[in-house]
Amino acid sequence: MQTGGDIPEVPGRPDERDRRRVGVDEWVASHDERLADRAGFGKLGRWIDARVPPWARLLIFAAFAATLPLWMSRGDLFVYGIFTLIYILLGLGLNVVVGYAGLLDLGYVALFGFGAYFYALLDSPKYGLHWPSAVSIPIVVASTALLGLILGVPSRRLLGDYLAIVTLFFGQAFVVFVNAANPRNLTGGPNGLADIDPNDLFGYELVTRKQQYWFILGVVLLVLIGLYFLSESRTGRAWRALREDPLAAEAMSMPVNRLKLLAFAFGAAIAGLTGCLFAAVLTAVTSGNFALPILITIYAVVILGGIGSLTGVVIGAIVINVSFQFLAPENSQTNARILFYGAVILLLALGVKPLWRLALVLAGAVVFGLVAHAIASGISESWTNGVVVEGGRLAHVISEWVIIPTGHQRFANAAYLALIVLVLAVTRIRGWLQTALLIPTVYLTAVVWETSFVEEPAVARWILFGALLVFLMTVRPQGLLGTPRVEIV
């Protein structure tokens, strides 16, 4: 353990990360991490990484997830429970290709679709085949893996953007194929395939939502355990190594091309498996289930959670699916409203730094609103007698605070434009004027929300969702639980 007498002792690990240690490698290298820590999420992620061992995380997740059916209604269990699990599985599969091996695969959703359609063909009245899951699922998984292997062939020569375009083409071709260009109506065209059998556990059919949920949860847990072991094995390390530097990986005895294909096949196998579960739960598949928006959502799951992190994928899937379903058009607008005002306050709390300034802005906005409301109603009744969309305790407060006119069609548009101008101004201006400008900005945000968006939750949820992602990615580019990636120091 020693080399000679004249080697100086290495200094111990810096105990306080924030103590200035200019010139010390660790202190300099962790500069970005410290910046991220100030935003709040970073500390949480690191704390989880350092303090909660993987098996404990799994146990917490399993314990919580297993109790879900006991207190959730049947419909809620479907959209919140089962869909989240499906997203977790899809995220885990994509994470192998994108997170571990670093291959940008935009055709992933087609593999999911292939699995679902193939299962549907094997287990539906379409051809009168009703194979037991113990037979059909392995067949589907193996064929999807093979298809993934074929999809991965271009990755031997193409990287990054080029690979992304080729695989994206594959994904789009799949949608076109199932919709139109298929022989003998194999996939049922735009109508898709219906009356798909539920999964069965060695002959015992899983027909109730609770059974299906627990079955899929079991699959998720097994996949999580398997992937954890795999990521800590020679193959997992080789994947990460080739993500970091393919040339060095090749020079360090790793067969890079074979490993890339393996990653593609492995991700595809998980996608195929998910397809089987998805088709069985939904009992029908159409091409719309496997189009671009789903791909984007899966990517959002992986990116939000933190690329390369299993815990991150699980948390990303929960956050995205729950907030998405929460804002579904058939839900009451109260949900969207709570989420919206919550997001605004969170944004202000993170962005407006000294606490007194934050208090000033919030209090200012309340007063500003009350004054504006009083003036508006003083001018004419028609300026404030608009109907607040849907109930909830919040609605009553809002009707006394936000200007919602009837008639005055152009008001909403004018407010929208004014808001954009104000937001731009706030980002450019510093100091006292910024604080002052924030007050009408916050108020105008509420006005625009109440007059334009709250009535159209389908639009509003995409906007909310996009804003959430943009904000999070700006504050924490590596995702909630991802480790910051360093290219060159």
Residues making contact with another protein (CB under 8 A): 1-4, 6-7, 9-10, 12-13, 25-26, 29-30, 226-227, 229-230, 232-238, 240-241, 244-245, 247-256, 262, 266, 483, 485-487, 489
Rounded to a whole number of angstroms, the minimum distance from the CB of residue 12 to another protein is: 8
Rounded to a whole number of angstroms, the minimum distance from the CB of residue 214 to another protein is: 22
219: exposed, middle or buried (Cβ count in 10 Å: 0-12, 13-18, 19+): buried
Asked if 461 and 454 touch (Cβ cutoff 8 Å), the reply is no
Task: CB nearer to another protein: give 19 or 393.
Answer: 19
Instruction: Please state, in angstroms and as integers, the Cα–Cα distance from residue 395 to each residue in 108, 404, 415, following that order.
Output: 43, 12, 20
For the CA atoms of 214, 216, 219, 224, the dihedral, rounded to the nearest 10 degrees, stands at: -100
Task: CB nearer to another protein: give 29 or 424.
Answer: 29
All residues at 6 or more sequence positions from 293 whose CB lies less than 8 Å from its CB, including other chains:
none
Rounded to a whole number of angstroms, the minimum distance from the CB of residue 24 to another protein is: 9
Rounded to a whole number of angstroms, the minimum distance from the CB of residue 250 to another protein is: 5
Rounded to a whole number of angstroms, the minimum distance from the CB of residue 249 to another protein is: 7
Task: CB nearer to another protein: give 83 or 100.
Answer: 100
Task: CB nearer to another protein: give 137 or 254.
Answer: 254
Rounded to a whole number of angstroms, the minimum distance from the CB of residue 256 to another protein is: 7
Long-range contacts of 351-358 (CB under 8 A, 24+ apart): 352/435, 352/438, 357/435
157: its two tokens:
């020569």
Rounded to a whole number of angstroms, the minimum distance from the CB of residue 361 to another protein is: 39
Task: CB nearer to another protein: give 252 or 346.
Answer: 252
Q: Residue 442 and residue 445: Cα distance in Å, rounded?
A: 5
Q: At what angle do helices 83-94 and 292-305 cross, to 10 degrees?
A: 80
Rounded to a whole number of angstroms, the minimum distance from the CB of residue 486 to another protein is: 4
Q: Residue 379 and residue 390: Cα distance in Å, rounded?
A: 26
Buried b (16+ CB within 10 A) or exposed e, 424-459: eebeeeeeeebbebbbbbbbbbbbbbbbbbbeebee
Task: CB nearer to another protein: give 232 or 400.
Answer: 232
Task: CB nearer to another protein: give 6 or 161.
Answer: 6
Tell me the H-state helices in 180-255: 209-231, 234-244, 246-251
Task: CB nearer to another protein: give 12 or 354.
Answer: 12
The residue assigned the tokens 């999420």 is: 41
Rounded to a whole number of angstroms, the minimum distance from the CB of residue 206 to another protein is: 25
Task: CB nearer to another protein: give 193 or 307.
Answer: 307
Asked if 100 and 239 touch (Cβ cutoff 8 Å), the reply is yes
Question: What DSSP designation does 468 have?
Answer: H
